[in-house]
């Protein structure tokens, strides 16, 4: 039975993906709720039936009070069958109705609605560009991905568990009092108007207050995760107290916004107690007055009293449900700032997979300044021939990394274009482009998974022996066999920690090298590929790197000039332009920037300050 309700909705079902999701709250919720439409209708109907049963039972209890005025024998003879049937209904049929209502909410909607939102939101965010991620805290993004789905689920839950039920219950209560004596409606209507005014006062304030509190919580998460992710820097610079102050300001803001939110609820509770007192005195007192005048039976007074006390106990729950509803809407609104942002770096519908035949790369009048008007690249023209190995050097900010990022299409170019074998990379799919490029970065971070998982990230379908062979070529196999994590996993099954922190810098770089060797892409990008290696290991790996470059088009960035001295051509970038190019020997003969860098380097590193 549980499985039936749990499987009514598949949260991973196919859906039309969009690059620009709705940015308004209700269209956003409606878009995610499409697979649940039939379930929502059924749940709403059952909620109305449950409310009707509750009102019917209260009404029937009033009837029981009236029919008990006779002798026991007469009551049983006249109403015995009716009482037995009602008992059967209460014992058997009513629980079935309630159970269906509860299972639709707890087993169909709550688990699947949150899962659907989390899955689709994560899928959408993963499609965002690298630049998009660079403009926000990873912790805040993750926090919004995690807190928005349960908040949206709570919104839907309150719609059916409280709001639909409450509206049906209020309508049923009005009909019950009308049927007993229309005058009993007057205190109920007066109370309802005041109650509605209190609800309006509360929800108008609780929505913005909740969104502010949610945003403050996300800021705390972002700052705390930022400190934890950079714990080595925190410890190295002895900035423990500084990080505490940085977090404390955000934590205090969270406390302040939460206090403001709680003040609203305190005022609401005080006003609600006064309103409920008015309801009890008004309806019960009027009922007693009607009974004293002979205009109402004891059963009517009993039913009205029961209904009033039931409403008294419900109003606090309904108010909390409504405020929870709008508070969670505030959380969803805050989460939408991340998960409803449009994706700007997209494949056009006409994009086709990259058809790489030779590996010729052309940079045609390329300019990119990250929207600042300066920095980056400025009208760069460059052709890299198939199989050519090109080294890039230059001061920090000269445009080397920008060139690589644009080639990988982490950003769209502001001006100019990049072609691979005559195909503009903006007209090919991003996945096919990056599948044909292997890259070893200076920041050799790894996934918090096993060594095997990290290596196979380069080529998931690789055989075990191919993976081990790649590790051997990168001189990583021996140290991998010696690894053991706290859970007792060893060798290639050992987990490397977040961003690979359980490995040394040199070990991480060797694993990333092995991953690229395994990928065996026809275009190779090396960004300080051996910067974390000691001289002995670097010398051993250099031979592997040169062997790896055979038959590939290579772009290598390095400050350690000895690593690129054997390149076919070396380019010197300065202020976004190519100012020198040629072989190592030719550039030394020019006595220009490259010759200065070479003369002033220490231990093979580029002495930037001296060159400037």
C-alpha–C-alpha distance, residues 376 and 373, integer Å: 9
Look up residue 160 and give its DSSP letter. Answer: I
pLDDT the model gives residue 420: 96
Residues 98 and 182 reside in one and the same domain: yes
Mean pLDDT in residue range 546-559 = 85
276-298 in b/e form (b: 16+ CB < 10 A) is: beebbebbbebbeebbeeeebbe
pLDDT the model gives residue 611: 38
Q: pLDDT category, 531, cuts 50, 70, 90?
A: low
Residues 514 and 592 reside in one and the same domain: no
Residues 505 and 420 reside in one and the same domain: no
Residues 31 and 126 reside in one and the same domain: yes
30 occurs within a structural domain: yes
List the alpha helices (DSSP H) in 340-443.
Answer: 400-407, 430-435
Given a contact cutoff of 8 angstroms between Cβ atoms, the answer to whether 365 and 393 are in contact is: no
Given a contact cutoff of 8 angstroms between Cβ atoms, the answer to whether 518 and 466 are in contact is: yes
Look up residue 88 and give its DSSP letter. Answer: H
Measured in whole angstroms, how far is the alpha carbon of residue 207 from the centre of its chain?
A: 21
Q: What is the mean pLDDT of the chain?
A: 86
Q: pLDDT category, 163, cuts 50, 70, 90?
A: confident
Q: pLDDT category, 529, cuts 50, 70, 90?
A: low
Residues 208 and 330 reside in one and the same domain: yes
Residues 182 and 279 reside in one and the same domain: yes
C-alpha–C-alpha distance, residues 567 and 594, integer Å: 14
* Each residue's pLDDT tens digit, 500-514: 778 887 788 889 889
Given a contact cutoff of 8 angstroms between Cβ atoms, the answer to whether 371 and 415 are in contact is: no
C-alpha–C-alpha distance, residues 74 and 80, integer Å: 9
Q: Is the pLDDT of residue 180 over 80?
A: no
- How buried is 422 (Cβ within 10 angstroms: 0-12 exposed, 13-18 middle, 19+ buried)? exposed
SS3 445: coil
Residues 225 and 325 reside in one and the same domain: yes
Q: What is the pTM of this model?
A: 0.76
For the chain, the 3-state helix, strand and coil shares in percent, each to the nearest 5, are 65, 10, 25
Residues 420 and 548 reside in one and the same domain: no
CATH number of domain containing 65: 1.20.1560.10
Q: pLDDT category, 612, cuts 50, 70, 90?
A: very low
Residues 243 and 328 reside in one and the same domain: yes
Number of domains in the chain: 3
CATH number of domain containing 461: 3.40.50.300
* Residue 548 Cα distances to 222, 389, 445, 518, 572, angstroms: 40, 11, 21, 10, 24
Residues 396 and 256 reside in one and the same domain: no
Q: pLDDT category, 409, cuts 50, 70, 90?
A: very high
Q: For residue 398, what are the domain limits?
A: 358-428+568-604
SS (H, E, C) 13-42: CCCCCCCCCCCCHHHHHHHHCHHHHHHHHH
Strands 523-527 and 377-384: unpaired
Q: What tokens does 379 get?
A: 């009208």
* Each residue's pLDDT tens digit, 30-45: 999 999 999 999 999 9
C-alpha–C-alpha distance, residues 596 and 509, integer Å: 29
Residues 116 and 256 reside in one and the same domain: yes
Q: Is the pLDDT of residue 536 over 90?
A: no
Q: Is 14 left (phi over 0), alpha (psi -120 to 50) or beta?
A: beta
pLDDT the model gives residue 610: 40
Q: What tokens does 357 get?
A: 């035949």
């Amino acid at each position: 039975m549980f499985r039936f309700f749990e499987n009514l909705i598949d949260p991973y079902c196919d859906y039309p993906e969009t690059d620009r999701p709705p940015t308004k709250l209700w269209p956003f919720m409606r878009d995610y709720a499409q697979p649940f439409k039939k379930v929502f209708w059924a749940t709403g109907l059952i909620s109305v039936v449950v409310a009707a049963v509750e009102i019917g039972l209260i009404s029937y209890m009033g009837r029981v009070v009236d029919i008990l005025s006779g002798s026991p024998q007469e009551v049983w003879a006249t109403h015995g069958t009716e009482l037995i049937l009602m008992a059967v209904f209460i014992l058997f049929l009513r629980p079935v109705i309630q159970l269906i209502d509860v299972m639709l909410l707890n087993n169909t909607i709550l688990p699947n609605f949150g899962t659907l939102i989390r899955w689709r939101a994560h899928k959408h965010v993963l499609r965002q560009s690298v630049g998009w991620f660079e403009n926000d805290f990873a912790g805040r993004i993750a926090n919004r991905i995690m807190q928005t789905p349960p908040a949206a689920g709570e919104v839907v839950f309150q719609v059916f568990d409280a709001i639909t039920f409450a509206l049906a219950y209020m309508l049923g209560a009005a009909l019950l009092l009308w049927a007993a004596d229309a005058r009993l409606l007057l205190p109920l209507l007066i109370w309802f108007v005041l109650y509605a005014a209190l609800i309006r006062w509360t929800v108008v304030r609780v929505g913005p207050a909740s969104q502010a509190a949610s945003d403050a919580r996300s800021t705390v998460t972002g700052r705390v995760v930022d400190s934890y992710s950079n714990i080595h820097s925190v410890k190295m610079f002895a900035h423990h107290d500084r990080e505490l102050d940085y977090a404390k300001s955000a934590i205090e803001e969270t406390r302040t916004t939460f206090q403001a939110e709680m003040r609203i609820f305190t005022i609401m509770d005080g006003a609600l107690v006064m309103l409920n007192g008015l309801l009890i005195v008004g309806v019960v007192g009027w009922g007693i007055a009607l009974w004293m005048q002979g205009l109402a039976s004891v059963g009517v007074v009993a039913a009205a009293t029961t209904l009033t006390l039931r409403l008294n106990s419900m109003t606090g729950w309904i108010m909390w449900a409504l405020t929870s509803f709008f508070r969670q809407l505030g959380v969803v609104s805050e989460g939408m700032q991340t998960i409803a942002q449009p994706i700007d770096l997209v494949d056009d519908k006409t994009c086709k997979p990259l058809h790489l035949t030779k590996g010729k790369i052309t940079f045609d009048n390329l300019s990119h300044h990250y929207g600042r008007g300066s920095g980056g690249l400025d009208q760069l023209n460059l052709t890299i021939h198939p199989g050519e190995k090109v080294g890039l050097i230059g001061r920090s900010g000269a445009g080397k990394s920008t060139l690589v990022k644009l080639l990988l299409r982490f950003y769209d170019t502001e001006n100019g274009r990049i072609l691979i074998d005559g195909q503009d990379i903006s007209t090919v799919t991003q996945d096919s482009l990056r599948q044909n490029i292997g890259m070893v970065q200076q920041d050799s971070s790894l996934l918090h998974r096993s060594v095997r998982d990290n290596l196979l990230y380069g080529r998931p379908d690789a055989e075990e022996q191919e993976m081990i062979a790649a590790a051997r070529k990168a001189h990583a196999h021996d140290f991998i066999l010696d690894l053991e994590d706290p859970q007792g996993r060893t060798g290639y099954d050992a987990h490397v920690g977040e961003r690979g922190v359980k490995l040394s810098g040199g070990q991480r770089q060797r694993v990333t090298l092995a991953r690229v060797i395994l990928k065996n892409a026809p275009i190779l990008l090396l960004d300080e590929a051996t910067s974390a290696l000691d001289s002995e290991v670097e010398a051993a790996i250099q031979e592997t790197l040169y062997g790896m470059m055979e038959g590939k088009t290579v772009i290598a960035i390095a400050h350690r000039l000895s690593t690129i001295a054997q390149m076919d051509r070396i380019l010197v970038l300065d202020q976004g332009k190519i100012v020198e190019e040629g072989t190592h020997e030719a550039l030394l003969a020019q006595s220009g920037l490259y010759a200065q860098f070479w003369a002033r380097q220490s231990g093979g590193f580029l002495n930037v300050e001296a060159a400037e």
